[in-house]
Amino acid sequence: MAVVGGTTGRVSAAGTEIAALVTESGIEGNFTLGNRGNPPGWVDFAKAYCVGKNLLELLHTVAYIPNQTATGGAAGGAPAARGGAPAPARGPASAPAPARVAAAQRAFVGGFGYPSRRSVAGSTGPNVHAAACDFILWDILGKAVNLPIYKILGGTKDRVLAYASSQHLATVEDFVPDAQKAKDAGFKAYKIHPGGGQHRNGSTIPAYMGHIDEIRSVRKAMGDDFTLLFDPVQRYNYFEALRVGRALDECDFVSFEIPCRRRTSTDSSSCASTWTCPSKLGSFILSIPDYAEYIRRGAMDIGRLIVDNLCGFTGSYRVGQMLDAFGMPCTPHNWGTAFDLAAAFQIETVAANCYWFEMPLAHRVHGSAIPAGQKSASTRTATSWRPRSRASVSRSTATAWTSS
């Protein structure tokens, strides 16, 4: 089954750009390029690596094409060489896109020879072009065999418990009513993304102190049997994380996600040892070897991943298996468009060690997607992200449910 063409096109007023690859038999796979600061040149990349090649030969190799520039996921430039030393440049960044792609082909490490990115600081960042291709190729395969991707990868679940994931709300007092809306909609868990940490009335206080007030007030309002999580998105220094971690222990939260500004595995291990609330890390980790290092140093209790950062389903599936081997839960980061949520859901349904679907709260509770009294939320995980050709197959195959 050979890939014969690749295109992009804008399909919404918001400018979401959809990438597509099409096989010689007319099966089209899709994924979004939006919401990533995605660099130009995806079509050139896809033509160089995918067009004219057999789908089954591509599936387990395209995800391992190294990024060709500096951190941030853009295309062009030179990745780190093995051992961490900078690789010699393969040509000026201003070279025409086909020339850069040709240079990348010569440097390609095939099969499971994942490029060496031994530390976060030295990483060149994810190859977002390769990630988009990986998503699309799996989409094509799912359509070809009329199965969702998670079933092709061996998944046996067809639903995952959903938790409500808050926005960064303006004041301390905003979180209790927000969590209550989630509970009323049937969610059994709620994650706080703290905002400015200020009370609606009163003088300015250090943000972490306001966050501690949020933690205590939400726990008191939700009761002891309601699951709560906390994600400050790398906001704290060590002292602030220590104080907040103790409050999370006091209030029986089940995870403390990336509390400190980006740190090494050694620093993260030292932080995590000061509280008992499970530490959830991984959103900033950009390669499979880095996960192994964080696990080895005891720097995480729960593994977090962003499917784009690991070049799509192929890398994310491997990280999920690695975490499972160490008895750790796997928790993909759910965000972005319906394409992004569906992609994360495939990993959540295939991973035996994944127990939650993160539902961005504004999508479901504050909008009209969950009417009052309705206790479940269906999430579409069809073999196609967005049917655009007569060969597309769209089937609802899994549900993120909110009630036990």
Model confidence over 302-319: pLDDT tens digits? 999 999 888 899 999 999
The answer to whether 314 and 134 are in contact (CB under 8 A) is: yes
Lowest mean pLDDT among 171-175, 191-195, 343-347: 343-347
Query: How many domains, in total, are found in the chain?
Result: 2
Per-residue pLDDT at 3? 64
Per-residue pLDDT at 263? 59
How many Å apart are CA 164 and CA 166, to the nearest integer? 6
Based on the domain organization, do 161 and 276 belong to the same domain? yes
Q: How many CA atoms lie within 13 A of 112 on its CB side?
A: 6
Per-residue pLDDT at 162? 92
Q: How many CA atoms lie within 13 A of 92 on its CB side?
A: 3
Structure token pair of residue 361: 């709260």
What Cα–Cα distance (Å) separates residue 294 from each residue in 71, 232, 284, 287, 307? Answer: 20, 20, 12, 11, 18
Instruction: Look at residue 13 and tell me whether its pLDDT is greater than 70.
Output: no
Cβ-Cβ contacts under 8 Å for 118 (sequence gap 6 or more):
83, 84, 289, 290, 293
Tell me, what CATH number does 313's domain have?
3.20.20.120
The better pLDDT of the pair 180, 46 is held by: 180
Tell me, what CATH number does 131's domain have?
3.30.390
Per-residue pLDDT at 226? 97
Instruction: Tell me the average pLDDT of the chain.
Output: 75
> What is the percent of the chain where pLDDT is above 90?
42
Lowest mean pLDDT among 26-30, 172-176, 191-195: 26-30
The answer to whether 340 and 128 are in contact (CB under 8 A) is: no
How many Å apart are CA 345 and CA 316, to the nearest integer? 12
Mean pLDDT for 176-197 is 96
Instruction: Look at residue 213 and tell me whether its pLDDT is greater than 60.
Output: yes
| Domain-terminating residue out of 85, 117, 145 | 145
CA nearest neighbour of 46 among 95, 98, 11, 115: 98
Structure token pair of residue 308: 């784009």
Cβ-Cβ contacts under 8 Å for 85 (sequence gap 6 or more):
none
0.85 exceeded by pTM: no
The better pLDDT of the pair 115, 64 is held by: 64
Based on the domain organization, do 134 and 174 belong to the same domain? no
| Domain-terminating residue out of 103, 127, 145 | 145
Based on the domain organization, do 124 and 167 belong to the same domain? no
| Domain-terminating residue out of 122, 145, 168 | 145
Lowest mean pLDDT among 227-231, 232-236, 241-245, 376-380: 376-380
The better pLDDT of the pair 106, 338 is held by: 338
Based on the domain organization, do 133 and 269 belong to the same domain? no
The range of the structural domain enclosing residue 79 comes to: 3-145
How does DSSP classify residue 64?
A: G
The answer to whether 9 and 18 are in contact (CB under 8 A) is: yes
Per-residue pLDDT at 126? 73
Per-residue pLDDT at 200? 96
Instruction: Look at residue 397 and tell me whether its pLDDT is greater than 50.
Output: no
Structure token pair of residue 119: 């530390």
Query: What is the pLDDT confidence band of residue 37, given thresholds at 50, 70 and 90?
Result: low
Based on the domain organization, do 166 and 83 belong to the same domain? no
Query: What is the pLDDT confidence band of residue 109, given thresholds at 50, 70 and 90?
Result: very low
